[in-house]
Structure 1
């Protein structure tokens, strides 16, 4: 094709497929020929297109670079076919939009208006979801262990550049025995699924796994491992390596080392780490329980980088949700993240944690930006880094709303079934005054998890500022009870009552916040905002100053959020207060 593209140019389209053919009297026909012909007719002059089957066969030849052109239903072909273009300087790489509507020969399964990768995901073979493993131990208390084994395998596979791995939060939505794998794969945009089970008795473990090709439903590989508990790390490595082999993923030596790297040799520390992850993933008050387990893990094994990473994240989450005094939590998070990086600089998570720390606790904007970019460089598919960057840094600190929305939506694309990701997209939209879009995003999160904290919170706030007060109060009053009078919800309900001229109800909530703050830590920012809406500006500024001194992450929202009332915005003392953050102009 390179020669044909040179002068004098010979316009030739090339389509490639591998399959059975029938020869009869010098005629060649059969399904293989038909499919190659359909792909050739889809092409343009000067290009080389190939089927996913050809792509699989050349995956170990890095000199052949390819680009996905999407997934198609070709005429007289039973299965969906992903088509790839050879990507070389000497030949034509067709525009994906030129491949549609070829005289009825093909029909794209998905309108390709966003990214090629997304449209191709339905049958992309080098893509996988690792589902939560079944706990077969007849002890619900062992759920953390079966979840943890699956999550460790998922994390190992996520480090591979050639493999698309569905995020943990989305994959782990699918629990229980009744699972429709094709439906799961469609929702997660993957072509293969790894599922398994774990049975544990004393020091004995049995791990059973199977890898399913969603296209045809066939089992690509299965294995059973009967081992001692001390061998759990080797089992996880073997499973991850077997998956890459079956998916024909070429591993560089550095990637192979990543998979085989043992983060700890201490099984007790490992179990404590898994318990920490299990509880932090449940959010709410469980985060504090997660902190305890992470701390126990690093106490037993001071060289356990992943446990330090978990400890850093847990402290920052606790600070964000107002569960502990943020300034103290931030200091502990920084210490843990610094230690994690010193032990294993190849991890992306601690750089994201440090970036959050410097943005929300130290207000060192340039350093926060550098650390977020470092995290993205190591792993661009780490959803938490994207939504922290989007909300806490780009929205609240920088005021770069368009860029913030882009990163928040990247997080949703990476974790399409994560209520947390929708919960972080909500406030990014809300700060821009996109209240209807905020409600849509939050409702998607609530559909996934009816108790999703931020989704309920910002659905209520969006209704508040759309002046749908009855709906807002309905949401807040319900969640006020469910959240055990969480100060974020209490403050939001107080604001809604103020805007409805229900002053006595608002005053009662404010008084309760103040009274509780005398004996336990209550987020000062929310007390200050409640006071401002009640017209108590002296008290409002006093509590906002306390919030700044406490380094509350949510205090940054006062720069741009709609819950700051006009009487406070126009006060010269508040303007001076904002200048103290040294926000970029």
Structure 2
């Protein structure tokens, strides 16, 4: 593949707070992104800039002239300040870049990215090199905002901000981004050596004109991860952690340190109609040396062969021994229907976004299965999505649990070595209180893929913590999931659930705070922050968390229940009773998790009859949350001491025997 070097002015832009806007309103987020791109394209054409790539809510571009790059940045910020305002950070640097027809990389790119990370929406930050280029242009004014030591950059860099009446002008030495403490003396940093045979697969950058095609690049990368994860001789970083390094302006050493890998696979995908171009390169993280690179041109029908070739090329370059069984896993074609495959990738893309996006994902997966009923991976993904929809109260469990079981069983009929399908079945049998079948399926999933973080979490929480009360072993599996996915807020959130069930509320709170540092919008981490404060008897803090979460979660029943508990413990029974009434009224118009209503009611005086009424309804609906009531701390003493509580547990333990006799839910 041909490369060439050139000196260029490099610009990064990023829409500040885009993820939070997306959580609140996808329509508003799309409008911001479209306006950002419209202004970008218009002004780059005027100032002779070249947009190299978009990445979700940001962009990377280059200019031959530093002055034109600065003038373009200034003009764009002035336009972004006009209604409808777009909060954009812009960073510029002048440096040497390595360029091929689709990729741009080099130290200059990395430093421009670091400068943008310091940015404040509405400002333009530039490096000292750019500042030197504009000194002879009196109409462009700038001032120093301080000298910063950027991560993995040897020398300190002085950063400047454009000085203009209509720009935001940050105060010197107040900026925070990808920096570290300034070096006072030379010292060698000691890092644990990553295994030689270890890899992180990054999402393929979408080079298509349509930004909505990002699902395809994510999906192809995820399929490569799944193929490689089946090889016991190769350590593969988890999807969630690897996908945090979504942008091209990545620091390979940072990836190696955070994920514990020695190599990274990165690349891009361009899909135009049924034509496909995939470019990939395998890189050593310690020195940036390219072990292998390749470009694949073909039709969409060739995607399966391309994925197999990439996986086999990686194993060859990393000298991973392939048994016949391992080779079969890599080469196995799961469908020959490319339309079904695209729908499957879209389904996985939306399910991975969590929240109500799971419901969108379910629709795409249903369409994929309709096109190819023998598509094992689509059945597996559908089973997992239905299980999550029931678990989080997005759909009535009776409506989706049987679908999950049927699809998981169908997937295993088609391919008996799918770890994910056994995990889905393990969850299903947990939620109908069948301990032997639940454990058998979870252990089979772990046997097939011990590096599947999700099964460690579900086995740890649903089976070991909630069903068995084996908190020590449950915690081990939670810690293993974090080791496999060190940058996943979801892993920290579910680990916090395990710690909470064990009564380790301070440790649960710490896990939530770590998760929120990774993803400030993590619902689960916010939720268990509130629960942790509640059981640490910090009621004011708990109420504050739950009240904030009520708004952003659209009054999700888990949040509403937590708020009622916190209010009752604080002694505000009048408001707690009112909130309980609101929750019951909602349940008349929409599906609300009955178990939550029952638990919340039990925290209020003289409400035990009502509490058992809703808990029994929760059992009839086979709500997954019912599994928690044996050991979780949110069951108050008054409820546990009531004779009806023990009878409820006995009914739950007996229910799986009835189901085993043919009355599947």
Common fold: TM-score over 0.5: yes
Count residues with an aligned counterpart.
467
Per-residue CA distance 1:97-146 (angstroms, 9 max, x = gap): xxxxxxxxxx9946xxxxxxxx5xx3322000001110111322101001
Structure 1 residue 308 corresponds to structure 2 residue 371: no
Query: Where does 1:85-96 land on structure 2 (aligned, <5 Å)?
Result: none
- Quote the Cα distance in structure 1 between the aligned partners of 2:236 and 2:209: 30
- Tell me by how many angstroms 1:202 deviates: 1.1
Residue aligning to 2:332: 261
- Quote the Cα distance in structure 2 between the aligned partners of 1:497 and 1:413: 37
Residue aligning to 2:538: 468
- Quote the Cα distance in structure 2 between the aligned partners of 1:489 and 1:108: 43
Q: After TM superposition, which residue ranges in structure 1, 4 or more long, deviate above 6 angstroms?
A: none
- Quote the Cα distance in structure 1 between the aligned partners of 2:325 and 2:508: 42
Residue aligning to 2:648: 577
Residue aligning to 1:408: 478
- Quote the Cα distance in structure 2 between the aligned partners of 1:519 and 1:389: 34
Query: Where does 1:26-175 land on structure 2 (aligned, <5 Å)?
Result: 109=190, 119=192, 122-175=193-246
Residue aligning to 1:421: 491
- Quote the Cα distance in structure 1 between the aligned partners of 2:440 and 2:502: 25
1:518 is paired with a residue of what secondary structure? helix
Per-residue CA distance 1:505-564 (angstroms, 9 max, x = gap): 212211111001112110001111111112211110000000111111111111111111
Are 2:376 and 2:411, in contact at CA under 8 Å, matched by a contact in 1? Answer: yes
Residue aligning to 2:455: 385
Query: Where does 1:449-460 land on structure 2 (aligned, <5 Å)?
Result: 449-460=519-530
Residue aligning to 1:538: 609
Residue aligning to 1:9: none
Please, what TM-score do these two structures have when normalized by structure 2?
0.69
- Tell me by how many angstroms 1:226 deviates: 1.2
Per-residue CA distance 1:319-358 (angstroms, 9 max, x = gap): 1100111122110000000000000001111111111101
- Quote the Cα distance in structure 1 between the aligned partners of 2:543 and 2:601: 18
- Tell me by how many angstroms 1:376 deviates: 1.0
Residue aligning to 2:36: none
Query: Where does 1:125-524 land on structure 2 (aligned, <5 Å)?
Result: 125-360=196-431, 362-524=432-594
- Quote the Cα distance in structure 2 between the aligned partners of 1:337 and 1:319: 15
Residue aligning to 2:37: none
My pick for the range that moved more, 562-571 or 276-285, is 562-571
Are 2:434 and 2:653, in contact at CA under 8 Å, matched by a contact in 1? Answer: no
- Quote the Cα distance in structure 1 between the aligned partners of 2:249 and 2:566: 43
2:199 is paired with a residue of what secondary structure? strand
Per-residue CA distance 1:147-194 (angstroms, 9 max, x = gap): 011111111111111100001111111112221111011100000000
- Quote the Cα distance in structure 2 between the aligned partners of 1:131 and 1:290: 22
- Quote the Cα distance in structure 1 between the aligned partners of 2:194 and 2:373: 43
- Quote the Cα distance in structure 1 between the aligned partners of 2:466 and 2:325: 38
- Tell me by how many angstroms 1:463 deviates: 0.5
Are 1:510 and 1:531, in contact at CA under 8 Å, matched by a contact in 2? Answer: yes
Q: Structure 2: 5+ residue runs without aligned partners?
A: 1-187, 657-665
Are 1:123 and 1:215, in contact at CA under 8 Å, matched by a contact in 2? Answer: no
Are 1:528 and 1:541, in contact at CA under 8 Å, matched by a contact in 2? Answer: yes
2:466 is paired with a residue of what secondary structure? helix
Residue aligning to 2:626: 555
- Tell me by how many angstroms 1:575 deviates: 2.4
2:589 is paired with a residue of what secondary structure? coil
Q: Structure 1: 5+ residue runs without aligned partners?
A: 1-106, 111-118
Are 2:267 and 2:279, in contact at CA under 8 Å, matched by a contact in 1? Answer: yes
- Quote the Cα distance in structure 2 between the aligned partners of 1:433 and 1:230: 53
My pick for the range that moved more, 490-499 or 167-176, is 167-176
Residue aligning to 1:568: 639
My pick for the range that moved more, 443-452 or 124-133, is 443-452
- Quote the Cα distance in structure 2 between the aligned partners of 1:177 and 1:513: 46
CA RMSD of aligned residues (A): 1.4
- Tell me by how many angstroms 1:573 deviates: 1.3
- Quote the Cα distance in structure 1 between the aligned partners of 2:590 and 2:348: 26
- Quote the Cα distance in structure 1 between the aligned partners of 2:555 and 2:623: 19
Per-residue CA distance 1:419-470 (angstroms, 9 max, x = gap): 1111110111001111110011111111111121211111110101111112
